[in-house]
Amino acid sequence: MQNLKTDRIGHSLGEVLSFFNINELKNRLNTGDYMAIVTQASRSGPLAIVIGATGLVGRLLIQQLLQSGHYQTVYAVVRKSFDLSSYDLVNAQTQLAWIQIPDFNKLHQVLSSYDLSGADAFSTLGSTQKQAGSKEAFYQIDHDFSLAFAQVCHQQGARHLLLVSAMGANAHSLVFYNRVKGILEADIQKIGFEHFSVFRPSLLLGARAHEKRWAEDIGQNLFTWGQKLLPETFSVRPIEANRVAIAMSQVARLKANDNALKPLDHDICIYSNHEMLKATLNAT
């Protein structure tokens, strides 16, 4: 690394991008030293940027992207301090970076200073009405923040937006959750990404790091009890979050290869729960 300014990262330090060489980062994790290098990562290879990186799918997606070898750098957009110890950085082939933005109302303001030319942008941000506290707060998180992320990524040159939505997403649904997801899909489609990939999982299986969702917990327990009764690719079968992350990583690489052979204009693909289950059978 060349002539980079260093600074100590603390809980109050936000709206900065912290860039690490993987070998240096492994040493810091071992010693507990979180001295970080504050700068934008140099651009000489493929780039990914992920919002919702501390969530159930986002955490697993980061690991998939780090190990894929496809990207030079992965940016993780987070609100709070980033727990690097949850990642297997020893075998990672990609540089990890993060952008800490405590207030997501400033997503556009902060991200508009970064070069995202040709990037794959992954949106895994999501909440529940109960967790958010109200319908309005839920809409702000699942729609407004996700849309703002998509808009600024497109503005800064990202070519592919990959979105975690939900089974049943429909802008005209009578179910508020599904309606918000459907409206978001429609609004992002209008932006005009070169590629727009939507992933619609059923109930997500996996341990969330910092929250409890009782409906999901009950569903997971019931599924664990009765999973042998359901076909492996049953369309509404609950899906492991890691399989969604794997599917997203696979699609990103496939679209990159397709684009190298034949650039497409406004390619839109929706991946159902059934399709993700089928494509990741060997991942379980």
DSSP code, position 42: P
Residue 236 within a domain = yes
**Which has the closest alpha carbon to 169: 224, 126, 218, 212?**
126
Digit-coded pLDDT (tens) for 5-29: 323 232 222 333 344 444 444 444 4
Residue 283 backbone phi and psi in degrees, to 5: -85, -10
Give pLDDT, residue 42: 55
Structure-block tokens of residue 252: 């990103």
Give pLDDT, residue 37: 31
Give pLDDT, residue 45: 82
Residues of the chain with pLDDT under 70: 1-44, 82-83, 85-86, 88-92, 207-235, 258-265, 283-284
Provide the number of structural domains found in the chain. Answer: 1
Residue 21 within a domain = yes
Digit-coded pLDDT (tens) for 163-189: 999 999 999 999 999 999 999 999 999
Count CB atoms within 10 A of the CB of residue 275.
16
Residue 1 within a domain = no
Buried b (16+ CB within 10 A) or exposed e, 20-49: bebeebeebbeeeeeebbebebeeeebbbb
Residue 81 within a domain = yes
Euclidean distance between CA atoms 82 and 88, whole angstroms: 14
Euclidean distance between CA atoms 123 and 143, whole angstroms: 11
Cα angle 230, 231, 232; round to 5: 115
Give pLDDT, residue 98: 86
Tell me how far apart the terminal alpha carbons of the chain are, to the nearest angstrom.
Answer: 38
Residue 179 within a domain = yes
Query: Residue 143 contacts by C-beta under 8 Å, 6 or more apart in sequence?
Result: 180, 183, 184, 187
The CATH number assigned to the domain holding 129 equals 3.40.50.720
Query: Residue 38 contacts by C-beta under 8 Å, 6 or more apart in sequence?
Result: 4, 5, 6, 7, 16, 17, 18, 19
CA atoms within 13 A on the CB side of 202: 16
Digit-coded pLDDT (tens) for 141-157: 999 999 999 999 999 99
Measure CA 128 to chain center: 17
Residue 170 within a domain = yes
Collapse the DSSP code of 95 into the 3-class scheme (helix H, G, I; strand E, B; otherwise coil) and give the result: strand
Residue 8 backbone phi and psi in degrees, to 5: -85, 125
Residue 161 within a domain = yes
Q: Tell the burial category of 162 from Cβ atoms under 10 Å away from its Cβ (0-12, 13-18, 19+).
A: buried
DSSP code, position 134: S
Give pLDDT, residue 17: 35
Q: Tell the burial category of 72 from Cβ atoms under 10 Å away from its Cβ (0-12, 13-18, 19+).
A: middle
Euclidean distance between CA atoms 120 and 194, whole angstroms: 10
Residue 267 within a domain = yes
- Domain range for 189: 6-283
Give pLDDT, residue 180: 97
